[in-house]
């Protein structure tokens, strides 16, 4: 659905993008990550047709953004980091303006406004002034304007920035719902949110793509470790030493004591080792009941720091 091929962008002597290529398939939610200044915004601005590239091509739904910018833009709904809202308008008036800007036929405007309000769950504030809406509702109005015209592709730049935890969950759930009918490219600094909604990650650093894969594959191939968390009842130091001696265990550490008489231990192993059975047999031999054993969540922060080189920088 989105094809970025050998994209390069120069600002004078500064190389902002250096021959990057990636694709976003139909129906995917792809997270676009990178530190400040990595080239994320430049890439998204080129995809949306706001900036031109120095070299390379971008196609949206098979339409070249440079050769047919109007045709490509019809396929795109864009939510910038700061939604472009006219706060002295009501939500309905603002969405009506967006319909005009996107050439929605006058006869279809009422249905279009009702539809995008329903999708973004803002029907109850449709007649209110935008200036009187909360940050969460303003973000939804921004999403609603991106949906006007029913574009095939949504490009969302920091859609949860500045929201409280409840609003973040609401917007995250909304993005998941929208992915059923739209292809989504999502840029965010909130790694937990990217992990929660994205099928694939594209990580950029210093204008170059440094990783493209699913979070799971990135964790396995880049970090080359697996993580396990166990809760065991018994003497904590004896349990810790016993687990550390199991073949294949790279490290084991106590992370918390949640229930009386138990200990929670995080275990790291190399990617080829599955030590769950050995931990079970160790506990069985010593009459240590296992209260919980689970694969630990992928640490997207570790992946990000590793591929952008920040981990080694921090160690130094």
CATH of the domain at 244: 3.30.70.3190
Residues 6+ apart with CB under 8 A from 201: 30, 31, 33, 194, 211, 212, 213, 214, 215, 218, 303
| Domain annotation covers residue 116 | yes
* Co-location of 155 and 280 in the same domain: no
State the DSSP code for 296: P
Domain end marker among 202, 219, 236? 219
DSSP H or E stretch at residue 113: helix 109-119
- Of the candidates 56, 17, 51, the residue with the CA atom closest to the CA atom of residue 34: 17
pLDDT at 173: 87
Lowest pLDDT segment from 8-22, 132-146, 211-225: 211-225
* Co-location of 113 and 214 in the same domain: yes
| Domain annotation covers residue 91 | yes
Say if residues 307 and 246 touch (Cβ distance below 8 Å): no
pLDDT at 305: 75
Residue 213: CB atoms within 10 A of its CB come to 16
* Co-location of 184 and 251 in the same domain: no
* Co-location of 79 and 201 in the same domain: yes
**Burial of residue 121, with CB atoms counted within 10 A of its CB: 0-12 exposed, 13-18 middle, 19 or more buried:** middle
- Check: pTM over 0.85? Answer yes or no: no
Mean pLDDT for 162-178 is: 83
Mean pLDDT for 252-272 is: 90
Distance of alpha carbon 293 from alpha carbon 296, whole angstroms: 9
**CA neighbours closer than 13 Å in the CB half-sphere of residue 47:** 35
* Co-location of 34 and 183 in the same domain: yes
Strands (E), 206-278: 208-213, 225-233, 249-256, 262-270
Domain with 247, as residue range(s), is 224-302
- Of the candidates 128, 57, 40, the residue with the CA atom closest to the CA atom of residue 92: 128
Considering only residues 78 and 223, tell me which one the structure prediction assigns the higher pLDDT.
Answer: 78
Tell me what percent of the residues of the chain surpass a pLDDT of 70. 93
**Burial of residue 296, with CB atoms counted within 10 A of its CB: 0-12 exposed, 13-18 middle, 19 or more buried:** middle
Considering only residues 135 and 123, tell me which one the structure prediction assigns the higher pLDDT.
Answer: 123
* Co-location of 104 and 240 in the same domain: no
* Co-location of 176 and 76 in the same domain: yes
pLDDT at 65: 93
Mean residue pLDDT of the chain comes to 88
Domain end marker among 165, 187, 219? 219
Mean pLDDT for 3-14 is: 94
Residue 297 has pLDDT above 60, yes or no: no
| Domain annotation covers residue 237 | yes
Mean pLDDT for 113-123 is: 93
Distance of alpha carbon 240 from alpha carbon 192, whole angstroms: 29
* Co-location of 24 and 152 in the same domain: yes
Lowest pLDDT segment from 25-29, 47-51, 269-273: 269-273
* Co-location of 166 and 284 in the same domain: no
pLDDT in tens, 206-244: 999 998 988 777 766 665 667 899 999 999 999 999 999
* Co-location of 130 and 231 in the same domain: no
* Co-location of 233 and 207 in the same domain: no
Distance of alpha carbon 92 from alpha carbon 149, whole angstroms: 15
**Structural domain count, the chain:** 2
Domain end marker among 176, 196, 219? 219
pLDDT at 314: 47
* Co-location of 83 and 111 in the same domain: yes
Mean pLDDT for 106-112 is: 95
Residue 312 has pLDDT above 60, yes or no: no
């Amino acid at each position: 659905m989105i094809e970025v091929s050998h994209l390069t962008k120069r600002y004078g002597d500064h190389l902002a993008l250096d021959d990057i290529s990636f694709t976003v398939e139909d129906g995917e939610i792809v997270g676009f990550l990178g530190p400040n200044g990595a080239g994320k915004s430049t890439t998204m601005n080129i995809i949306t047709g706001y900036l031109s590239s120095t070299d390379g091509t971008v196609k949206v739904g098979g339409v070249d953004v440079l050769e047919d910018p109007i045709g490509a833009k019809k396929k795109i709904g864009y939510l910038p980091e700061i939604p472009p809202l006219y706060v002295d308008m009501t939500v309905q008036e603002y969405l009506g303006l967006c319909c005009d800007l996107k050439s929605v036929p006058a006869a279809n405007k009422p249905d279009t406004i009702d539809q995008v309000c329903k999708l973004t769950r803002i029907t109850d504030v449709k007649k209110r002034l935008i200036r009187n809406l909360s940050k969460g509702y303003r973000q939804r109005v921004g999403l609603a304007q991106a949906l006007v015209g029913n574009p095939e592709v949504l490009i969302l730049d920091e859609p949860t920035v500045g929201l409280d935890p409840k609003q973040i969950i609401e917007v995250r759930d909304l993005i998941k719902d929208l992915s059923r009918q739209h292809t989504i490219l999502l840029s965010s600094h909130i790694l937990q949110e990217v992990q929660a909604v994205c099928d694939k990650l594209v990580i950029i650093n210093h204008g170059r793509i440094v990783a493209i894969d699913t979070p799971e594959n990135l964790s396995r191939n880049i970090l080359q470790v697996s993580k396990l968390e166990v809760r065991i009842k018994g003497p904590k130091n004896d349990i810790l030493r016993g687990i550390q001696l199991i073949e294949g265990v790279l490290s084991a550490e106590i992370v918390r004591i949640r229930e009386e008489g138990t200990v929670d231990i995080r275990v790291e192993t190399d990617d080829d080792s599955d030590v769950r059975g050995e931990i079970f047999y160790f506990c069985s031999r010593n009459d240590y009941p296992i209260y919980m054993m689970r694969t630990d969540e992928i640490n997207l922060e570790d992946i990000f720091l590793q591929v952008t080189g920040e981990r080694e920088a921090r160690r130094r």
